[in-house]
Every structure is written in C-alpha cells, then in structure tokens.
Structure 1
Amino acid sequence: MSASAGRADRRSWGVAPSGETIHTYTLALPGGVQATLTDLGATLVGLEVPDRQGALGDVVLGHDRPEPYADHATSPYFGATIGRYANRITDGRFTLDGRACVIPANDGPNALHGGPGGFDVCLWHGEARLTDAGPAVVFTRTSPDGEMGFPGTLEVRVTYTLAGQADGGAALTIDYHAVTDAPTVVNLTNHSYWNLTADPARGVLEHELTVNAPAFTPVRPGGLPTGEVRSVEGTPFDFRTPRAIGERLADADGQLAVVGGYDHNLVLDAGQDGLRLAAVLYDPHSGRELGIHTTEPGVQVYSGNFLDGTITGKGGQVYQQHAAVCLETQHYPDSPNQPGFPSTRLDPGQVFTSRTVHTFRVR
C-alpha cells in the first residue's frame, strides 16, 4: 500500500497502574479524515470527519488523557470495546451446561457490559498496520478462564480499519474475532457516543435517526429485557422512516419512562443476512451523515439519558443529557437468560466473528 493512501502511527499516551505504557494509534487518510484509538479498552478516542463546508470536526465524545477512561464515573464506556458481554445480564447470573456463572454486579444488582472489570478497562496489545483496505490497528488480548466470572479462556481480536470511499466519504470498519477453549457466551460491541455536529453543547435531539428495525425488546426496571419481542408499529421506537431523536422523547410511553428515554435494543430486519444497513444518523446543521452496516441482529439505541453535566471531556467540554447518542450493534441483552433470543453461546472449535461498518458522508 502506498504511503499516499494513508498512515497508521503509534505514540505513548501515559502509564497504566501496572506500569505498562498506554498508547494512541492514529489512522489518517489524505484530506484529513482521522481516527484516534487507544489500547486502553481498544477504544475509539476521536474521529474527525468533514461537514458540508469541508470543515473537520470530532464526532465522538471522550477525553484528552487516558486516566478518565479507566473510571466509569468519568467515562461511561466512551468509545470502548465492550465484552465479554455487551449490555445487561439479570442479577449477573446465568447457567451454562449446568455451570452457574456469576458476574460481579455493577449496575444495581445486575451486570452491565461485562462487569466492573470488563474489556473496556483492560490494556490490550495494539499493532498499527497499513493494509490494502487502508490504515488499521489490530487489538488483541487473552481473557483468562473465570475473568469476571465468564467461563473459558477467550482469545479476542478487534481490528479497526479506516478507508476512503468512491463517493468521497470515509468508512471505519470494526471486525471482531474470538475463539474459546470451553463453552462460554460472547457479545462484543463498540460504545461510541456520536454527535455529528462536533459540538456536544448542541446535543443530538435534532439529529434524524433511521433504524431498519420492525421490532424491539421491551424492558423492565433496570433496563432488563422482559423477553418479549414487540412490534415498533405505533410506538416511539419506530424509526423505519427518519425521525428526530427528540421528537417523541416526551411521549407518555411507559417504555420511555422506565429508563428515562431511549435505552433499548431494536431488532433488525431478520429477512436480511450478512452485512446490512442497520441505521442512518443525520445532522441537518452540519450535513454529516453516519451510516451503520452490521452483521449483528440488534442495535442498542441510547440517547445519553444519564449524562448529567458531571463529566468534563475533551477541551473542557461539559457533557449534558442528550449530548450524544449511542448506536451499539449487538446481540440482544440478557440472552443467556432468554432462550427465545438469538444465542450468544460460543463453543470450542467455533469462531466468533462480527463486522460493523461506519460510513461517513455529507448531504
């Protein structure tokens, strides 16, 4: 690959409590599109893409230094790789082949995003590469048997690749790969907080969202799924045509009330296989558009309900409620306890793979 097609750089960013060096990895394309990642949590730290005037802006929330990323009070999973199990597990418990698995609670009585020591706070091994597809960074780690209560030794690889597009836009692809030496459950995602204005103070309530999801999984208190798969027809969860995120947040809907807004798994169209368009997010002010294609069966739409002005991020920005929206491609929450949901089981000899592609263009 020629140097003019992009670059992939690594530099020191700090020191972890273990004494190991934390790094950032910069993936850059000609013209200025640039992604910054760190091996702390295999995290997307920054992503600069142009608006309709060509001005570059950072469209993800995060921090200027590594220390806040290790504390969930200051970084509620900003840009992190989530594992072993994205989303919630009821009471932090499930049974697999008669084995009781207990995950430490970190969301009331429940386990959220792999428990308090999930993949998001682990230091990964990173390697920057120039590939035929574009500049990339490959993160790997070994999750030992029993880590956060999950069975089996899991070998995990997460690859971020930045590439230009024929239409002049750009794409950030995330490829996930995992194998295990014993039966386990796996549900991996990226937890970026998107604000396409590149100005978190504006919030995302005017962003227009489209999700190709005919159904969603209702939740009970604590954000746990009831086990039902319900049609979005006639509900605030119908984003099959573009709707402003804030348009129906004040609706008298019990599902919105139970978690203070959107924090729900939307069930993607099961009639399509492989990589397919899941969602489109559009900011009418900047003209930036984010398209999300995925191989996963669901996408968690979270409207930043619990951002409350107590977190100060990049450049001294204070993150208020609805400063950003998360669109987490995933299997469904609490699947190990919900036999009617798509299975997240992984056995020895099987290979877990998943791909999500984020495309950026302007209107």
Structure 2
Amino acid sequence: MKQLYAILTVAMLSVALCSYAQEQVQIRLVNSNGMEAVISNYGARLVSLTAHNWNGRLEPVVKTYTNKEEYMKDRTLGATLLSFGKNHEETLSGKIWELVSSDNQSVTLRYVTSEGENGLDGKLNVTVTYTLSDQNALDIDYRVATTAKTNLEVTNGICFNLSGEMHRSIIKQHLWVDAVQMNTYNAQRQLTGVLQRIKNTPFDFTKPREFGERIKSTRNGYDNAYQLRHPDNMQKPAAILFDAQSGRAMTVYSSEPTLNINTYGKDSQGITLQPIHTGYNSGMEKVSNELQPGQVLHSATVFFFTTDPPLIMRTK
C-alpha cells in the first residue's frame, strides 16, 4: 500500500511539474544602472527593454504588446526566430521554452524539438541566453545542435524605436551600416547570394543618414539584407542607430555576415536589425547554413546603448 501511495505521489508531482513547465512566465533582468529587460519563455522573446535618454530618464526602446493574446496573433515580435527542417519554416516562437537558469542579469531558455518536427529527420537542441550587462548592452547568445543534417537560420524579432515613444515615427532617426553591398532577394523573398553594390542608391548608409531623407525613393521602406564588410569581427560595429532628440545611440555587434534591416513601411514606428547566418565571410567564401550532427551553431548579437554617440553619428 505504501508503494502504491509513493507511486501515486510521484505521478501527481510529475503532472504538476509538467503543467508548470507549460506556463508562460516572464523573467525580469536589471543591471546596476537601472536598465531593465523582461524576457518571456513564450517564444524565448524580449517583451520589454528600457534605456536612458540624454538626461538619464529610462524609457522603453522596443515595441511590445500589452497582453498575451496579441503575442499569440503576432508570434514574431521580440521572439527568437528559428527556421529549420525540410519545410524551413519558423515554428518555435509559438512554443513554451524551458527555463534553464536565471539570475538578476541573465536568463537561459531551451527548446528541444520532437522527432520529425517541421519535417526534420532528427531533433534540434536550441538554447538562447539573454544577458543585460552593466555596460548597458543586451547580449543574445544562440546555440543550436542537431541529431540529423538540416539547414537553419536563427535571429530575433526585436523591433526598436529609440525615441522612447513607441508611436512616434523613426524617420528622423539616423542609421549607419558597415556595408557597401546587399544580398538580393528573389520574388519568393529568398536570398539569392548575388551581391549588389549600393553606392549612390537610397540603400547606402555608409554615411549616417536620416531614414526620411531617401525613404520615399524606395518601394515600401527598407527591407534589405546588408552584407557586412567585417563579417568575422565582432569588435567592429555592424550598424549604429541614433535618435538625436532623446540622445540615444544603439550600436549593433554581430557574429553573422549579414544584417537584415526592416522599417516596415515608409512612415515606420519601428525597425528590426536582424543578423542572419548567410552571405559571405571575410574571405568572400559563401557561408553555409547547413548543420551536421556533432556540430554546434553559435551565433551572438550585442545591442549596446549609450547617450554619448560615436563620432560618426554626431549631427552637430
């Protein structure tokens, strides 16, 4: 009878733990300067981020929704976006990820796919770690392993607006990108691997420019994959975004060779800067997004915030 009771107790505990594991939870990270990030295990997503303006006031700098239902309708915003398998579709932003570890300034989440999920022959083991450093940087570290060969891409769905007012247009904000070429898309929005030079076009940000200066010359704003000039060097900034009114500057560092920049139209209220594992390395060798068993894909992105913009971004 005691054995039966013990078995039933263990079973009930297992059910309770499984139920808890499926709950949506949020983890609050705070650095020594008061900057705050909130991470959700639903899609391993950033749901809130604040940064100081020129007079020290903390304000939001990423677009968010106010309730869970909106995130369920738009599963990409702020999420970890991973496309993989034979279908090469993104699915994990709608999943509850396992909370592996967390402290005041860092959290690690994990998702292990089931056999055959999304047409994959084996399984993927994906971890993402968000760290909010005392240097006012949000670091995102991805690691992916597989039990079967697959092609994959991993990035983020974070949409920034440095003004501190999420309903204000970003067309007055300045952008600099360390790129002189773009990787072109085909009609199906797939990257072709064909590079196109951008000098003297509306897509040239080798000198800082306001979005509004030339955005009307584009079809529907910016949505372009920039081939970075220093694809193997995380010490070199990939891009810098600057809002003169708030004084905020955000420098992007990436381990990936390509940075996709999307303003979501011509009068945008937000911008995504998404590093992706495609394009060419510093030796102009084509980068493969094929992952073999035994290999680990490691990708890192840093969003560094300051109110002392780099010299190249200073407008006065």
TM-score range, shorter-chain basis?
A: 0.7 to 0.9
Indicate whether 1:181 and 2:180 are aligned: no
Report the counterpart of residue 42 of structure 1 in structure 2: 44
Per-residue CA deviations over 1:303-328 (Å, capped at 9, x if unaligned) read 0229xxxxxxxxxxxxxx50101100
Q: 1:296 aligns with which of 256, 273, 290?
A: 256
* 2:111 corresponding residue in structure 1: 141
Give the Cα separation in 2 of the matches to 1:150 and 1:203: 41
- The superposition leaves residues 197-231 of structure 1 with CA deviations (integer Å, 9 ceiling, x where unpaired) of 11122111111011101210123444333442111
Aligned counterpart, 1:199: 165
Q: Which digits, 9 at most, give the CA deviation of each residue in 1:31-68, with x for residues without a partner?
A: 32000110000000010111001111010001122221
1:287 aligns with 2:251: no
In the superposition, relative to structure 1, how do residues 272 and 180 fare at CA in structure 2: closer, same or farther (>3 Å)? closer
- Give 1:231's aligned residue: 197
Distance 1:141 1:235, change over 3 A: same
Shift of 1:279: 0.6
Equivalent position to 1:124, from 75, 93, 97 = 97
- 1:1-363 to structure 2, matched below 5 A, reads 20-72=22-74, 77-85=76-84, 101-103=86-88, 114-115=89-90, 118-130=91-103, 135-165=105-135, 170-251=136-217, 256-257=218-219, 260-270=220-230, 272-305=232-265, 321-332=267-278, 341-363=286-308
Gaps of 5+ in 1: 1-16, 86-93, 95-100, 104-113, 307-320
Runs of 4 or more above 6 Å deviation: none
Cα 1:201–1:30 change in 2 (3 A) is same
Tell me the TM-score normalised to structure 2 length: 0.84
- The answer for unaligned runs of 5 or more in structure 2 is 1-18, 309-316
Aligned-pair identity in percent equals 29
Structure number, greater radius of gyration: 2
Shift of 1:345: 0.5
> Structure 1 residues 293 and 246 mapped into 2: Cα distance closer, same or farther (>3 Å)?
same
Distance in 2 separating the partners of 1:225 and 1:236 = 20
Contact 1:265 1:332 in 2 (8 A): no
Task: Work out the CA distance in 2 between the residues paired with 1:199 and 1:64.
Answer: 15
User: Which residue type is aligned with residue 142 of structure 1?
Assistant: V
State the 1:183 CA deviation.
0.5
Q: CA RMSD for the aligned pairs?
A: 2.4
- TM-aligned CA deviation for residue 145 of structure 1: 3.5
On the 8 A contact 2:231/2:255 being kept in 1, the answer is no
Q: Deviations over 1:261-280 (max 9, x none)?
A: 21111000146435531010
Do the aligned residues in 1 keep the contact of 2:256 with 2:278 (CA within 8 Å)?
no
- Give the counterpart letter for 1:223 in structure 2: R
Query: In the TM superposition, what is the alpha-carbon distance from 1:19 to its structure 2 partner?
Result: 9.0
- Tell me how far 1:143 sits from its aligned partner: 1.6
**Tell me, what secondary structure is at the counterpart of 1:83?**
strand
SS at the partner of 2:212? coil
Paired residues of 1:33 and 1:56 also in contact (CA < 8 A): yes
Distance in 2 (CA, whole Å) between partners of 1:231 and 1:160 is 34
Structure with the larger helix share = 2
Question: For residue 31 of structure 1, what is the amino acid of its counterpart?
Answer: N
Aligned counterparts of 1:249 and 1:352: Cα–Cα separation in 2: 35
Report if aligned partners of 2:222, 2:263 keep a CA contact under 8 Å in 1: yes
Q: In the alignment, residue 47 of structure 1 is paired with which amino acid? A: L
| TM-score between the two structures when normalised by the length of structure 1 | 0.73
Say which SS state the counterpart of residue 224 (structure 2) adopts: strand
